[in-house]
Structure 1
């Protein structure tokens, strides 16, 4: 009996000692990191913003060893706005909300729709993009004509998404259909399964659906499942300081054109893409590109270009046809003019190797003309427009932008002023005169679409 009490006495004391050290550890931790600090104060003290997001083409992914993606770019600008570094946390879709609640991240930015269920647990920022849920099906599968026509069909969606919430609402309204929930399967993968006819239907926000149609040209974007919704960032309930800063940032991003610039980089004209053209591009990536791929890679390396961007230019120029000829008598894979061929030191524009060398060398010359631009991405866009319509016309468009009070070093401004070169009111005041200024805008945007597709394909 004495031993029992003695052991209990020792146990109680051990528990007490352990509790003391735990308490001491907590006190030390709180003293060091400031447990009384608000989340925003902690971010500014540590100098790090922890972004909770998801690995997906519309949020965050790596290309050429560098992070990219719409949500990543936007969050990076927010971190700059706060003057802190950005740390990325990717716990998987189904774990994002629990990570936020547990303090393992500061904000969720992952293409989240504001829903009633989510509002009960979290606060959301001001919206930054309107979207609409749409049915996605294969071109050989008839999609439903309306919501009532969902009857007897089976849809596949990811668990815990706004898609699941909407399908539950439709089911409760009396429409008899089935849906299958998948854990942590990206929407892109479900769209791929539709494209490969492994499943018949899925649901995606229209920005995701149209973006994925670039990579899976046999899908079709069907009926909307509900009215327009909004995407926003999520923070913990009552985190008013954090929410205020995010909303201030979105106001700043709207007023400065930053939000539109990032949106255009990833989503420009995605709804206007021709699926038949995309299908042909995918086919020619397999049948024609391999003949010229090594030449393109070797020459691109010399000038520090991403070879996939150059390949996109080649396709836009000639559809990978070395004998291509335009009505203005430019020839070859990169549609080099006679004057440019002489300037770049080549003799035969129809020779694939010579055409690629001349075209890339000339593109580099255009890039160097815009090396004063701080943003390398912007300088590439200006150079591509110059490759198409000529450097002189681009400088005219820049001057028009200055005269109109636009930011002349932004592609967004040139998208406005280049088409004005076809209007007498404007081109009569320029040095180089009339130009079909809408063409370089379309030219650049098509190249960016082809480039995006190539980035998503495993070609090396």
Structure 2
């Protein structure tokens, strides 16, 4: 195959992925007896591969409940951050349960359900140190992962007299906190739950920096399917099933900013 032909085929493939199909309906999914759900498998604890090489995690458990609610079989299709929306728009999956944060930019391309999960970023530090507001970081040392969401958020609110120590990854920032090299860190609720498992009571959340809600995504105009998904989310919030999944994978109940969102 010549380079020109390869390039042409690549362009055709990209165009196919970028061209959205018609809206999906729940009746179509039920008629085929199967729902194809796109899911990240490299974003623990939301998406992982288990010991037998099967998709697992928070999102997988939610997808299983959704398929059961629809009365169909479930096929989880591994996706990546960049290709998850193209997979949905091109029909390779029926919907996404893929840790997709609800943002205005994404809402121009897909239709989002009510939130079923969320990630909160907070300042988290020594329990006996009063850091209850940004101004109280004055004269303190706070760790963040370099160029991360928490780096941006902490930098935006920290007073001039605060020292922001940047690390290459979350693990290094956490180690610095445990070792007493910093008094607090900017970190997600996922990492906070992990710290609480190894050092219960030593630290607490000082103040929130940001919150991102995650929604199940469907193709634009899939109003009937979206309504059915929202009814499902309302049900599993109400009966405690979603909070139980959150407890299983994140070690805490469903956060209020997700549970009470509508």
Q: TM-score normalised to the size of structure 2? A: 0.60
Contact kept? 1:128, 1:232, Cα under 8 Å: yes
Q: Which structure features the higher share of strand residues?
A: 2
Per-residue displacement from partner, 1:402-431 (whole Å, max 9, x unpaired)?
A: xxxxxxxxxxxxxxxxxxxxxxxxxxxxxx
Match of 1:75 in 2: 63
Contact kept? 2:121, 2:208, Cα under 8 Å: yes
Alpha-carbon distance, 1:156 to partner? 0.7
Q: Partners in 2 of 1:165 and 1:237 — Cα distance?
A: 32
SS of residue in 1 equivalent to 2:114: coil
Match of 1:259 in 2: 242
Match of 1:166 in 2: 153
Contiguous gaps of at least 5 residues in structure 2: 254-262
Match of 1:87 in 2: 76
Contact kept? 1:131, 1:206, Cα under 8 Å: yes
Q: 1:157 to 1:61 in 2, by over 3 A?
A: same
Per-residue displacement from partner, 1:114-156 (whole Å, max 9, x unpaired)?
A: 5xxx3233354313457754323357x9463421122353431
Contact kept? 1:52, 1:107, Cα under 8 Å: no
Q: 1:204 to 1:246 in 2, by over 3 A?
A: farther
1:119 pairs with 2:104: yes
Match of 1:99 in 2: 83
Greater RCO structure (CA 8 Å; 6+ sep): 2
Contact kept? 1:113, 1:232, Cα under 8 Å: yes
Q: Which structure features the higher share of helix residues?
A: 1
SS of residue in 2 equivalent to 1:214: helix
Contact kept? 2:167, 2:173, Cα under 8 Å: no
Match of 1:320 in 2: none
State the Cα RMSD in Å. Answer: 4.7
Q: Partners in 2 of 1:237 and 1:182 — Cα distance?
A: 39
> Which aligned pairs between 1:32-431 and structure 2 lie closer than 5 A?
36-38=21-23, 44=29, 47-52=35-40, 54-57=42-45, 59-61=46-48, 65=52, 68-82=56-70, 83-87=72-76, 89=78, 91=80, 96=81, 98-103=82-87, 106-110=95-99, 118-122=103-107, 124-128=112-116, 133-137=121-125, 142=129, 144-151=131-138, 153-157=141-145, 159=147, 161=149, 163-164=150-151, 166-167=153-154, 169-170=156-157, 177=162, 179=164, 185=169, 187=170, 190-197=173-180, 201-206=184-189, 208-217=191-200, 219-226=202-209, 229=211, 231-233=213-215, 235=217, 238=220, 240-241=222-223, 243-266=226-249
